[in-house]
Amino acid sequence: MRQILLLILLFVVGQWFVKALRRAQAQERPDAPPQPAAPPRSAGEARRNGGARPRTARPASLSEPMVRCAECGVHAPRSESVTAVGQSFCCNEHARKYTARSAGQDRAAR
């Protein structure tokens, strides 16, 4: 009977811990949804590879959130995207196209 109580206690503590962890992540980045952290690469693993460059060594592009172009649907890193009228675009050209079209639609509606 004592073991069952202990298991229940462990379960409750585990749930609480996960909740606290999620809350801490949300406070760190309120604009982005919580993402699973990449496992740290051990030094031994790098040595086993013989100094070869790992294929997944792109920390800058991996940590950066991707935004979808409202004009052509292409996904671009947020730092390279253009934001206009509350939408994200892959380039200035598409932002101009989109705003010009939406302005035309507004005029037609009136």
Looking at beta carbons only, is 74 or 84 nearer to Zn ion?
74
Looking at beta carbons only, is 67 or 90 nearer to Zn ion?
90
Would you give the binding string for Zn ion spanning residues 53-72, x where CB under 5 A is met?
----------------x-xx
The answer to whether the beta carbons of residues 98 and 71 sit under 8 Å apart is yes
- Give per-residue burial for 58-92: e unless 16+ CB within 10 Å, then b: eeeeeeeeebebbbeeeebeeeebbeeeebbbbbe
> Is 90 among the residues that bind Zn ion (CB under 5 A)?
yes
Note the residues at the interface with Zn ion (CB under 5 A): 69, 71-72, 74, 90, 94
